[in-house]
């Protein structure tokens, strides 16, 4: 095997075209083998294997700076830049990351995980290189999906203004429609459609067809329409990127390694100023199931190693995302003003079925969270009830819009914050650790956290009728437990006091839990029961406003209050409980995530690593009770 004999990435430059093609096949097999066991971003990385080989055949990952956008398509890059022997540890605790990471390898020019950052970062590197009279090229690889993010256009505009040399943007167009993803391109198409020369030519062709027999005329018109469509698809990207100040090259077959190498060499040696190379690839290339359904194989859990079928081992249990999607469908049936908005995460946020049933009421804005929030705000001013479903980690990108455009004018937008808390193998860039900390200080914003499927359903139904301002409902990744509770309606600022061995008026200690951390609190209490420690357990439900009456009653009767939350301990809910309880006899101890970025790995192992697992927490409680 060629792959196993490679000792250094520089050896790739010495391979023949036939050897490169063979190596590409071996890399795809390696990716499929590991991802089937570890999970990960399969389709994106399979689609960029040939592109990666071409890049390493022309550029040097140390002398040149290669920046992968998001980094979820960089598995071949990792394998070829000294990490093949560790690739089996992909996304495992203390193993290699699922994204590019500067701490992992000097070949990774930039640490990534969120979208639309590569052009800005690569441009910064190019300008810094010039300021220091350095050498080498600066290359950004960005997908057409990531190009929907406004930040990428800001960077393109700035690069066009600065006109740096040795600056290359590779647009990895994986067969998704650019004209659909990038709304600004429609303006160029409209301008072309309305031009005098274009319409004169079209009229002449139309007049010519009228003299043809009807059977031939039909085929002639169809052919002319397809030619028109093809010409526009080729010309439009050229127009917009040239207007932005880039020299445009393409489109190029992203799986033709020799041709890619030829183009990269020409651009590297002869072209000056910023260059955009338009490369067309196929997501999931080389793996039939992923080629047929790239969306399903974008990010996958471990699956059965069946190269033809790709059978998933995912649990069929209902997730919080599923519960949200099903409840929203039920609400939408009786409320024609209810809409759902998401940022390129229809399937991930549980909205696929909603899109099928209400295609005109589901708005996928692309990777543009800021726009999603203000778009929802605009709809809310006209009597529409928007539910904005975004992952917790991506909501960070829209904080200003939540504050300024939604909360300040008290618009009734509902934010469904998926993947709150530790998400596991996706790592530090994707852990939903900060939403409670950065949302809690926003006036007019109601914040809720369900501990189970029944509570999420009730909170969504309550939020659908709430008109006094915005609501944020945060819930974790994974299975939504059914606690078997009867919850006909949700009451704001009313906590649930669970059955306890002690009377709430005189409990020795209290556990106050936020959302899915209720299970952690209950499991901790079971361990403590062996030592005859029986805390009263409170399920907070409403994070803002808090159930101050219950918290103050506990503060007056308890010696110790422990808060449990799947989020940052700094500026978290526990900190607010401590502030509210100040002056009482109770001492408040907060359990949550420490002041550090939590790495990748299985959720259970990560919680043990940060001492947020029941055995560790029980030990701390016992130590404080002595």
For the annotated catalytic residues, the residue numbers are: 283, 369, 397
In the structure encoding, which two tokens stand for residue 464, read together?
């659908």
Query: Residue 466: is it exposed, middle or buried by C-beta count within 10 angstroms (0-12/13-18/19+)?
Result: middle
CA distances from 105 to 68, 108, 453 (A): 14, 6, 42
In the structure encoding, which two tokens stand for residue 561, read together?
């209050």
In the structure encoding, which two tokens stand for residue 567, read together?
């989020």
CA distances from 237 to 148, 190, 279, 361 (A): 14, 14, 12, 29
Return the residue matching tokens 């539910």: 387
601 φψ region: left (φ > 0), alpha (ψ -120 to 50), beta (else): left
- Decide if 516 contacts 556 (C-beta within 8 A): no
CA distances from 536 to 496, 510, 523, 591 (A): 11, 5, 13, 16
- Decide if 237 contacts 208 (C-beta within 8 A): no
DSSP 446: E
Closest CA to 150 of 117, 102, 104: 117
65-68 sheet: strands from edge to edge: 65-68, 138-143, 167-173, 275-280, 247-253
Burial 80-99 (b: 16+ CB within 10 A, else e): bbbbeeebeebbbbebbbbb
Return the residue matching tokens 């049933």: 357
């Amino acid at each position: 095997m060629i792959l196993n004999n490679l000792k250094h990435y520089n050896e790739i430059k010495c391979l023949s075209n036939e050897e490169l093609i063979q190596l590409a096949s071996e890399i795809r097999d390696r990716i499929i083998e590991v991802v089937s066991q570890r999970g990960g971003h399969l389709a994106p990385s399979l689609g960029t294997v040939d592109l990666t080989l071409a890049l390493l055949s022309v550029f040097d990952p140390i002398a040149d700076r290669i920046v992968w956008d998001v980094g979820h398509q960089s598995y071949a890059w990792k394998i070829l830049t000294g990490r093949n022997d560790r690739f089996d540890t992909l996304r495992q605790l203390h193993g290699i990351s699922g994204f590019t990471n500067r701490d992992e390898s000097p070949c990774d020019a930039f640490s990534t995980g969120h979208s639309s950052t590569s052009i800005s970062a690569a441009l910064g590197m190019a300008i810094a290189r010039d300021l220091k009279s350095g050498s080498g090229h600066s290359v950004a690889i960005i997908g057409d999906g990531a190009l929907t993010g406004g930040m990428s256009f800001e960077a393109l505009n700035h690069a066009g203004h600065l006109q740096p040399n040795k600056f290359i943007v590779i647009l990895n167009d994986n067969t998704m429609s650019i004209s659909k993803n990038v709304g600004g391109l429609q303006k160029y198409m409209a301008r072309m459609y309305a031009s005098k020369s274009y319409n004169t030519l079209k009229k002449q062709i139309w007049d010519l067809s009228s003299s043809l027999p009807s059977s031939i005329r039909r085929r002639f018109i169809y052919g002319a329409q397809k030619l028109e469509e093809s010409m526009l698809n080729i010309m439009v990207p050229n127009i917009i990127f040239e207007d932005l100040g880039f020299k445009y090259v393409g489109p190029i077959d992203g799986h033709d390694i020799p041709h890619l190498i030829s183009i990269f060499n020409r651009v590297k040696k002869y072209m000056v100023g910023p260059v955009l190379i338009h490369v067309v690839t196929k997501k999931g290339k080389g793996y039939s199931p992923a080629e047929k359904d790239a969306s399903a194989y974008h990010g996958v859990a471990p699956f059965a190693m069946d190269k033809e079928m790709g059978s998933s081992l995912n649990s069929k249990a209902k997730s919080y995302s599923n519960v949200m999607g099903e409840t929203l469908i039920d609400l939408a049936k009786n409320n024609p003003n209810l809409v759902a908005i998401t940022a390129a995460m229809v399937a991930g946020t549980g909205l696929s079925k909603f899109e099928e049933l209400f295609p005109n009421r589901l708005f996928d804005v692309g990777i543009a969270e800021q726009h999603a929030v203000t778009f929802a705000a605009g709809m809310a001013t006209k009597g529409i009830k928007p539910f904005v479903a975004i992952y917790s980690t991506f909501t960070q990108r829209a904080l200003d819009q939540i504050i300024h455009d939604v909360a300040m004018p008290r618009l009734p937008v509902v934010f469904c914050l998926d993947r709150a808390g530790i998400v596991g193998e996706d790592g530090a860039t994707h852990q939903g650790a900060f939403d409670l900390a950065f949302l809690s200080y926003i006036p007019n914003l109601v914040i809720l956290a369900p501990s189970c499927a029944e509570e999420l359903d009730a909170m969504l139904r309550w939020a659908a009728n709430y008109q006094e301002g915005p609501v944020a409902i945060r819930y974790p990744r994974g299975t939504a437990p059914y606690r078997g509770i009867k919850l006909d309606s949700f009451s704001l600022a009313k906590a649930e006091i669970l059955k306890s061995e002690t009377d709430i008026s005189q409990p020795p200690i209290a556990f106050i839990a936020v959302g899915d951390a209720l299970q952690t609190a209950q499991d901790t209490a079971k361990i403590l029961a062996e030592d005859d420690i029986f805390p009263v357990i409170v399920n907070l439900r409403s994070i803002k406003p808090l159930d101050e009456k219950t918290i103050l009653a506990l503060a007056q009767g308890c010696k110790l209050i422990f808060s449990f939350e799947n989020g940052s301990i700094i500026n978290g809910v526990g900190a607010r409980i401590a502030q509210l309880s100040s002056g009482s006899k109770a001492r408040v101890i907060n359990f949550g995530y420490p002041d550090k970025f939590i790495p990748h790995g299985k959720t259970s192992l990560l919680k043990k690593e940060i001492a947020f697992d029941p055995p560790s927490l029980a030990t701390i409680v016992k130590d404080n009770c002595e």
